[in-house]
Amino acid sequence: MASKVPGAPALKGHDFSRAVRRTQTDRALAPEGMPASDLTYLRGLKPKALHVPHGRAEVLPLQFLRTTSGLFRWLSWAGCLALFGASAATLSAQDVTLRVDVKLVNIFVNVTDRNGAIVGGLSREDFAVTEDGRPQSIAVFERQSELPLNLTLAIDTSGSVRKDLTEEADAARRFVHAILRPQDQMSLMQFATEVRELTPFTNKVALIDRGLNQLHADYATALYDAIVLGSQQLGPRDGRRVLIVVSDGDDTAKRSTYDQALEAALRHEVMIYSIIDVPIEASAGRDLGGEHALITLAEQTGGKSFYVAEGGLNKAFAQVSDDLRTQYLIGYYPHNQEPGRTFHRIDVTVPRAAAQDFNIRHKTGYYGDGPATKN
């Protein structure tokens, strides 16, 4: 016995009986509210309305749908794997970015022997660096840094040093002409009752000369204000940042403090060179505390201090120039930082030498911009 179902292949004999039994079973298994025909479609026969002549539904054979279903399952798995791979690649890229974004810490180091002579010729392997007592790997090393110099010359024009202004201007002029290279920039400021910028950053010595001719005396001394403002102006500039302060160390303005000046210099990675001009040699007329402050500011920031009385202004400026031209540059990416620290202390040593053989000068540390890393 054969039966004709429009749009479907003819069923004969036991095939027809099997189809009848399946239909009866479908009616029994179909959930409430679902026609038995829908269950039949779930089992392998499904209408397809696309590309059907005369608008009739075409019934697809069970094997075709099984093959198609398998293909869709495979494509779904492939899509999931691709999505997972893309996510993993994104995470991997993020990990790399996090490592690259760790800030390179630059340390400018001067090494002299016990007689004060400059020690050159040291190699990367001669140095060891620790941060908060934890060893660090040196990533950058140069014997003489060719990085641009950004210098700010800050001259005290208060009443206590008024008599030396002409001499200071002449010595500063010779220093400027000797030290500025094509890649360097310098600014000039004076400080007395207030801090005043005479020449913004420039590479033209003629403009610096013009500014030096404008120095004029006043009464009070805003020393720490000058260090804070000078450090802030140097901070955004690329390369080495150097603040040269010519003063007797007597701060009488009492606006900024020593601690604020030191923090500003360290935060902006500024090296302070102090040229201490003592107009009155008798200790009764000297601000010994101010002199000590200038010495300590230089030591803490990796710079150096010089007394004008020990050879004059010309020699003091020449020593600053020599010091800047004989620096080692050491750089490292901090790792295994101690959590919770805002200020990180740095120590640079030459392990092969006895501690008393070399005098190693560098900044004492730096302020971290973000939380400590544990990579």
Domain boundaries, the chain: 25-60, 65-101, 102-143+330-367, 149-325
Looking at the predicted structure, is the pLDDT value of residue 57 above 50? no
Looking at the predicted structure, is the pLDDT value of residue 15 above 60? no
Looking at the predicted structure, is the pLDDT value of residue 52 above 70? no
Q: What is the pLDDT of residue 43?
A: 44
Contact in structure between 132 and 371 (CB atoms under 8 Å): no
Q: What is the pLDDT of residue 309?
A: 85
Range with the poorest average pLDDT among 79-83, 148-152, 279-283, 344-348: 79-83
Mean pLDDT value across residues 168-179: 93
Q: What is the pLDDT of residue 98?
A: 37
Looking at the predicted structure, is the pLDDT value of residue 179 above 70? yes
End-to-end CA distance of the chain: 80
Q: What is the pLDDT of residue 92?
A: 47
Q: What is the pLDDT of residue 354?
A: 85
Range with the poorest average pLDDT among 13-27, 177-191, 267-281, 341-355: 13-27
Q: What is the pLDDT of residue 332?
A: 97
**Higher per-residue pLDDT: 369 or 245:** 245
Q: Which of 128, 221, 176, 214 is closest to 318 using CA atoms?
A: 176
Computed over every residue of the chain, the mean pLDDT equals: 79
For 144-177, give the DSSP string. S--SPEEEEEEEE-SGGGGGGHHHHHHHHHHHHH
Looking at the predicted structure, is the pLDDT value of residue 45 above 70? no
Mean pLDDT value across residues 351-375: 79
Q: What letter does residue 283 receive in the DSSP assignment?
A: G
Neighbour-count burial for 112-137, b at 16+ CB within 10 Å, e otherwise: beeeeeebeebeeebbebebbeeebe
> How would residue 58 be classed by pLDDT, with cut points 50, 70 and 90?
very low
pLDDT digits (tens, 9 = 90+) for 150-164: 999 999 998 877 777
CATH class of 149-325: alpha beta
Range with the poorest average pLDDT among 32-46, 101-115, 255-269, 290-304: 32-46
Q: Is 123 helix (H, G, I), strand (E, B) or coil?
A: coil
Looking at the predicted structure, is the pLDDT value of residue 107 above 90? yes
